[in-house]
Structure 1
Amino acid sequence: MYKLSAILALVAAPAFGVGLEIDIAGEANGTIVVDLFEDVAPLHVAQITALAEAGSYDNVVFHRVIDGFMAQTGDVENGMMGMDMTRAGMGGSDLPDLPAEFSDLPFERGVIGMARAQNPNSANSQFFIMFEPGYFLNGQYTVVGQVTEGMEIVDAIKRGTGANGAVIGRPDMMAAVRVTE
């Protein structure tokens, strides 16, 4: 078992080689920079980067945003700006679901995790960014990366309402997502 300081050092470590630049538009505007942990979750990072390189994440909304918890996005099937948002969050992509790649990395502020259904092996394209630590997620969801620049932009993403955090009206979106190395 890792000591907490060692885990935090891993989470805050520089990129393992690949990352994302995500342009956010809406109530929040600007670019966030993400380091992806390809050594921790290689299958998930490969899927995210493939979707980003194909432009699949461009114009996808943050459909579920819970203040003090997280902002969820990445439904490339049902979450495109301009679509009927009643199904946003129910889809994935045309790529297969992924087996869980759980690790000892904790869900700290700025950590990015893969969203999934009840089945631990059901992550596909959706991911979430933590506003605050969520240690109850540790070992239950795959950690794929960390925001290294632009958390103030993440903090400004339009919040949802109700227990599930569904965003009503016009949600913020990922206007463009680029893979970096």
Structure 2
Amino acid sequence: MKFRLPLTALMLGAALVAAPAFAKDKDKKDEAAATPTPPPLPTAIDTDITHEPENVLLLDLSDGGRVAIRLMPQWAPHHVERIKTLAGQGFYNGQIFHRVIDGFMAQTGDPTGTGQGGSQLPDLQAEFNSMPHLRGTVSMARTNDPNSANSQFFIVFYPRFALDKKYTVFGRVISGMQYVDAIHRGEPPEDPTKIVQASLASENKPAPAAPVAPAAPALKAPSVSDLNNSQSN
């Protein structure tokens, strides 16, 4: 004898089986609704140095130029904090741009000048974001390990979108890009451009005096004796 369930029982069983699935879907929707969507990252860059000067990094270069970089903690809060900390310690003062590739970028932030060094602070966790690597973008250098950024950073000469979401963008040059363009090329350059002073605009530090070229030795006026002793061919 075969037991046959009435049609109503089969329908009830199907409903009981489906109920947990519907409940799970509802839970997921409720969870998604309860989790706030993060606001989009700001893309507008404030170029006024007097606005939030605590988030403007000033680089005084050895060629006498001053570069202003708008730091964006909304993009990468931990990387911005690291840059501000090191600048406040005077870490970047005297460092060279050790890797400068024409048409690409200028890199600095290594006290050894070799590209292998960094600060004594621990490496940072990556904060990759959607900001593109445009001309003037300032981004953190790292090794093949995504979580190895420490103190080195680079400034982009021309757009390099292949770097997007692979390196942490934390700022943009807002003035003095012509001085970035003039940074000496090389890996390392024969005569590297240096950061004489790195500071925050809120510190109101004056730019160091530009180096004065040595004066040419003064020519001594010939005396009467010199003229009398001169010989002509």
- Please point out which of 156, 166, 173 is paired with 2:182: 156
Matched residue count:
159
Residue 45 of structure 2 corresponds to 12
Q: Provide the C-alpha distance between the structure 2 equivalents of 1:168 and 1:144, rounded to a whole number of angstroms.
A: 26
**d(CA) in 1 for partners of 2:122, 2:44:** 27
More RCO (CA 8 Å, sep 6+):
1
Specify which structure has the higher proportion of helix. Answer: 2
Hey, what's the Cα distance between the residues in 2 that align with 1:91 and 1:102? 22
The answer to whether 1:114 aligns with 2:114 is: no
Q: Which amino acid aligns with 1:141?
A: Y
Q: Which runs of 5+ in 2 are unaligned?
A: 1-39, 203-233
1:130 to 146, 150, 156: 156
After TM superposition, give the deviation of residue 180 of structure 1 in Å: 2.4
Which SS does the other structure have where 1:12 is aligned? coil
By percentage of residues, which structure has more strand?
1
Distance in 1 of aligned mates of 2:178 and 2:147: 32
The one-letter code of the counterpart of 2:175 is: E
CA RMSD of aligned residues (A): 1.7
* 8 Å CA contact retained: 1:35, 1:145: yes
Measured in 2, the distance between the counterparts of 1:118 and 1:127 equals 15
Give the corresponding residue for 1:85: none
Matching residue of 1:65? 100
Normalising by structure 1, we get a TM-score of 0.83
CA–CA separation in structure 2 for the residues paired with 1:54 and 1:29: 22
Q: Provide the residue aligned with 1:173 in structure 2.
A: 194
Higher-Rg member (1/2): 2
Correspondence for 2:66: 31
Q: Tell me by how many angstroms 1:168 deviates.
A: 3.4
Amino acid in the other structure paired with 1:57:
Y
Deviations 1:63-107 (A, max 9, x none): 00000000000013x13xxxxxxxx11011000000000111000
How high is the TM-score relative to the length of structure 2?
Answer: 0.65
CA contact (8 A) 1:11 1:105 kept: no
Runs of at least 5 residues in structure 1 that lack an aligned partner in the other structure: 1-5, 80-87, 161-165
User: CA–CA distance in 2 between the matches of 1:11 and 1:143?
Assistant: 14
